Amino acid sequence: MPDAAAYERGFRGAILDPGTQTPAGLASAFGGIPTKRFDVYRNNVTVSLTKALADIFPAVCRIVGEERFADLARLFVRENPPKSPLLFRYGENFAAFIEAFAPAATMPYLADVARLEHAWLSAYHAADAAPLSPGALSAIAPDKLPQARFAKHPAAALVRSQYAAVTIFNANRDEQERRRINAGVPENGLITRPEFEVRLAPISGGDTAFLHALFAGKTLAEAAEAAVAADTGFDLSAAIGMMLSSGAFKAVDVKR
């Protein structure tokens, strides 16, 4: 018998790959190697993880169709065993897998749709926090405001895309009637959950650069500079209104 760690690695690999043999050392209570029973168990594990992925990525599933999604999911499952007993955390690298999957090259937007779906689910399960109130911002002296730094809400996330990922996401999550979408129009998405409902909103390149800088801990002044560099038409007042109404932040701080 191999040592416990080696046996666990072998068992984990065998349970996800139908091309491997029943792990050495596995025995039935009735004697012999329970190959058929292990095959049933292995199939159940793959089916369960495939279904979990379909539940986590319903838009991707609808876009490619259930049969093709199941094939894609099975390949992913073989290479990516769960790292957590919480199934909603599964598939965090599914978008990267899609991006590297050659047959998916005909749908270059698909990986970004998957990123939006995973960010949506992460926001749904994120810790609760009260969103930043407008009063907290107005309480800061005007001369101190440029140096303000903001604490991101646990549910907030940004997804940048060179494709119409937000529109495609919305059309397929809501199971809207299929319509023609110009997938080549770049869209960035802001995911928030100020209370109990996850929200996804498309935002401009300037607003994206602004929020990205604030999420990274930059000051308000530094974030505004980054936004103007990305979009000369950036409107700081409108962006501040957006960051407050969206619930993307939970606190603000100005070092004295």
Give the separation between CA 187 and CA 167, rounded to whole angstroms: 8
Residues 83 and 208 in one domain: no
Residues 123 and 248 in one domain: yes
Q: What is the DSSP letter of 157?
A: E
Give the separation between CA 16 and CA 2, rounded to whole angstroms: 20
Residues 169 and 42 in one domain: no
Structural domains in the chain (count): 2
Mean pLDDT, rounded, of the chain: 87
- Tens of pLDDT, residue by residue over 41-85, are 677 778 889 999 999 999 999 999 999 999 999 999 888 888 888
Nearest-5° angle of CA 223, CA 143, CA 154? 40
Question: Which residue would you say has higher pLDDT here, 43 or 110?
Answer: 110
C-alpha distances out from residue 190 to 2, 53, 165, 224, Å:
49, 22, 12, 18
- Among 29-33, 85-89, 213-217, 246-250, the minimum mean pLDDT is found in 29-33
Instruction: Give 189's contacts (C-beta < 8 A, 6+ positions apart).
Output: 116, 119, 158, 159, 161, 165, 166, 169, 200, 201, 202, 203
Residues 201 and 231 in one domain: yes
Residue 173 domain-assigned (yes or no): yes
Residues 121 and 101 in one domain: no
- Tens of pLDDT, residue by residue over 158-196, are 999 999 999 999 999 876 666 788 888 999 999 999 888
Residues 78 and 152 in one domain: no
SS3 (DSSP) at 22: coil
Residues 241 and 152 in one domain: yes
At 128 the pLDDT is 94
Residue 35 domain-assigned (yes or no): yes
Residue 56 domain-assigned (yes or no): yes
Residue 248 predicted with pLDDT over 80? yes
Q: In the listed set 107, 129, 144, which residue is the last one of a domain according to the structure?
A: 107
Residues 255 and 152 in one domain: yes
At 19 the pLDDT is 65
Residue 112 domain-assigned (yes or no): no
Domain ranges, residue 59: 1-107
- Tens of pLDDT, residue by residue over 3-17, are 666 656 666 666 666
Residue 29 predicted with pLDDT over 70? no
Nearest to 196 by CA among 115, 125, 245: 125
